[in-house]
Amino acid sequence: MNDVLLSVQNLSLGFRGDGGFAHILDGANMTMRRGEIMGLVGESGCGKTTLASAILGVLPRTALQVRGGSINFDGTDMLVDTNAAEQESVRGRRVTFIPQDPFTSLNPVFTIGQQIEELMKWKSPRRAPGASRLPPIIALYPRARRKIDREKVMEMLNLVQLPSPDQLLKKYPHEVSGGQRQRLMIAMALLPEPDLIIADEPTTALDVTIQAQILGLLRNLATDRGVAVMLTTHDLGSAYEICDRITVMYAGQDVETAPVGEFFNRPTHPYTAKLLDSLPDGGGGMIGIPGELPSFYAPPPGCRFQTRCDRMTEACKTRPPSANAGPNHLVRCFHPLYPTTAPAEKESLA
Amino acid sequence: MTDAPILNVTDLSVRFPIRGPFGRSLGQIKALDGVSFTLADGEILGLVGESGCGKSTLGKTLMGIQAPTHGSILFEGTEIAGRTPREARALRRRLQYAYQDPGASLDPRWKIGRSLEEPLIIHTDLPRKERLGKVREILTSVGLPAGHTDLFPHEISGGQQRRVGLARILMLNPEVVILDEPTAGLDVSVQATVLRLFRDLRETFDLTYIFISHDLSVVRLMCHRVAVMYLGRIVEIGPVEDLMENPKHPYTQSLLAAIPRINGPRVTENFWLKGEPANAANLPVGCRFQGRCPHVKPICRETDPEDRAIGDSRVACHFAGEVFPPVPVAKKEQIS
């Protein structure tokens, strides 16, 4: 299928630490189509950020241990070491990143203008592909390209509704508010004209009124430009706001993938159902999910939700295969809440 | 719940001076500006607002961590604003402040039992045996085994640390507990457990809570009354159902509309509130919400509105009860 932009297949990785091997991602699967907004939802510690960092290739090399699986971005394998040059041309150019905390992701000793210029120098869509012959410190920034880039920057700052952009560029990061910094981050993520933006909890540090503005902005800009957005969040409300499709993760495993309407009305995996039930306005606001996340050092075999699941049986000791619970609705459970049709064979998204 | 107020706050103001070179005063930030409210015994009062609106300053001023510029705080009829440190210490037994993550305030080198015993050593002269008994008793009441006294904070999970932090606050049998963003950054599944714990503890220990939060859905679940703050002033205060169902201040209306509602109309498509709060160091003349208000009229730019009583609520708006939020356009689109 040609409209698949990014596919993560059976990714299994972890980190070596003092306590042994921490198995963070255990057979995680995820697909993103071009131009769609996909929400990656789960509690803290479920591996959302690790998965996002794995795609971006920014996990610490020294402790990382990949146990299998693949990440494929539009034909480029993002995991093998031999492919470094090609991966570099993808990262920061065709895949960009919006961080969770706009307060620490700008350098406090440079002006905003300097930082955006630096970004455009290396990652502008008008930069000729291939590595520069000169060492990075004396690499040139041709005047003609600088001029076009500058115009594009101003245009983008207007699009993200920042007031008086020319003055903003001369300011230091501490001089602007959190909402404005997050707008700046969105602008910087869109400037390289990427195919995919990974937004890692972009609104958790912001107030609700600002959150509504930022989410609206992200959705409009992404739809206008046909950019796919992978939104990791633990806030189901903001996922409902802007996503087309939602993937739920639990303890490093994907458990359910569904279009947004199906997801909220027909949750099929027991974990998804419990998650929706513990929302404060979901009627049973005081219920929660008893128990805690399993340890990553000694996870239970098979489905990792078994320790907190009330439908658990002996079968759950092996990982359930993907089954169809509706159109585009995949679930991995032996005891789903709604009937599923036999394991989807060839028809899986990738 | 009785009607006698346990806490009566009148016209409380806190100003922070902005100093330039050589200590020259360049202006002041009005962190709190004429805040008045009462707190009934056994009540849970929610305090909501965006960051920088003065929620935490209010909490800290009540505790005596921050001295008020003027105004009075009556705690069971006694003035507690502007006390000396010695007098404040005695009062602190009865008013307690729970930080966002109470577990993080545990000393990592102290065993839990020692951390829990410390407040008793400082504030009471109970013999050691009684102190230890009390520690065990409180520890079991927050749902932890009494054997945990011999563990270090790193040996228990984050959720248990949180419970220990709460146990420490409860050691001195306080009457009022100020909870500062107790659920910020928690997952929904954990949040529900924490909220239930607060509710149970209130029953057991007869507590009165001031519940500072920016999450309106949690406030609705927990509180009896809510105060909405904007730039240092309470713009609306009233019973929770009333305020949530029928908000009267345009800011409250916007705040409620900004919460994503699952299976409701999308907020991001028709959210009317533009811009960000004004600079607290340089408030405009007149109503402080004028720059973002959709209903702004000339009078709002001239005079700061007085509190108006409507039903059980007090609202600081010239047009309280006369303005309504724009009707959201329910768009049923592309969801397949």
pLDDT per position as a tens digit, B160-178? 888 888 888 888 889 999 9
Residue of B193, B219, B268 to mutate when probing chain A, most A C-beta within 10 A? B268
Rounded Cα distance, A110 and A188, in Å: 15
Indicate yes or no: CB of A280 within 8 angstroms of CB of B220. Answer: yes
In this complex, the residue of A44, A219, A237 whose CB is nearest that of residue B187 is A44
Indicate yes or no: CB of B260 within 8 angstroms of CB of A237. Answer: yes
Residue B172, classed as helix, strand or coil, is coil
In the predicted model, is pLDDT for residue A112 greater than 50?
yes
Indicate yes or no: CB of A280 within 8 angstroms of CB of B221. Answer: yes
Q: Residue A350: what pLDDT?
A: 39
Q: Residue B13: what pLDDT?
A: 92
Q: B238 falls in which pLDDT band (50, 70, 90)?
A: very high
Return the higher-pLDDT residue of A104 and A114: A114
Q: Which residues contact B336 (CB under 8 A, 6 or more apart)?
A: A259, A261, A327
In the predicted model, is pLDDT for residue A343 greater than 70?
no
Indicate yes or no: CB of A207 within 8 angstroms of CB of B261. Answer: no
What residue of A is the nearest CA neighbor of B254? Answer: A209
Q: Residue A286: what pLDDT?
A: 64
Q: Residue B328: what pLDDT?
A: 56
Rounded Cα distance, B155 and B159, in Å: 12
Q: Which residues contact A343 (CB under 8 A, 6 or more apart)?
A: A321, A322, A323
Q: A301 falls in which pLDDT band (50, 70, 90)?
A: confident
Q: Residue B226: what pLDDT?
A: 94
**Stated pTM of the model:** 0.81
How much is the average pLDDT of B272-295? 83
- Give the pairing of strands B25-40 and B5-19: antiparallel
The C-alpha of A210 sits at a distance from chain B's nearest C-alpha, in angstroms, of 7
Return the higher-pLDDT residue of A154 and B21: A154
pLDDT in tens, A10-38: 999 988 877 788 888 988 999 999 889 99
Give the residue ranges of DSSP H helices in chain B: 55-63, 85-92, 112-123, 128-141, 158-170, 188-205, 216-222, 240-245, 250-257
Q: Residue B334: what pLDDT?
A: 41
Q: B320 falls in which pLDDT band (50, 70, 90)?
A: confident
Residues of chain A contacting B244 with CB distance shorter than 8 Å: none
Rounded Cα distance, B223 and B202, in Å: 12
How much is the average pLDDT of A214-240? 89
Indicate yes or no: CB of B276 within 8 angstroms of CB of A241. Answer: no
Residues of chain A contacting B281 with CB distance shorter than 8 Å: none
Q: Residue A3: what pLDDT?
A: 82
Average model confidence (pLDDT) across chain A: 85
Q: Residue B336: what pLDDT?
A: 37
Q: Which residues pair with A23 in a beta bridge?
A: A14
Q: Residue A127: what pLDDT?
A: 81
Rounded Cα distance, B223 and B195, in Å: 11
In the predicted model, is pLDDT for residue A228 greater than 90?
yes
Q: B237 falls in which pLDDT band (50, 70, 90)?
A: very high
Q: Residue B26: what pLDDT?
A: 82
The C-alpha of B121 sits at a distance from chain A's nearest C-alpha, in angstroms, of 34
Average model confidence (pLDDT) across chain B: 85
Indicate yes or no: CB of A211 within 8 angstroms of CB of B192. Answer: no
Q: Residue B327: what pLDDT?
A: 65
In this complex, the residue of A209, A274, A292 whose CB is nearest that of residue B254 is A209
Q: B181 falls in which pLDDT band (50, 70, 90)?
A: confident
What residue of B is the nearest CA neighbor of A236? Answer: B262
pLDDT in tens, B53-107: 888 889 888 888 888 888 999 888 888 877 777 777 777 788 888 887 777 788 8
Indicate yes or no: CB of B216 within 8 angstroms of CB of A208. Answer: yes
Q: Residue B279: what pLDDT?
A: 79
Percentage with pLDDT > 90 across chain A:
22
pLDDT in tens, A148-190: 999 999 999 988 888 888 889 999 998 888 888 888 999 999 9
In the predicted model, is pLDDT for residue B1 greater than 60?
no
Backbone angles phi, psi at B289, to 5 degrees: -95, 0
Backbone angles phi, psi at A237, to 5 degrees: -60, -45
Q: Residue B46: what pLDDT?
A: 93
pLDDT in tens, A249-295: 998 899 999 999 889 888 899 999 888 888 876 555 567 787 778 88
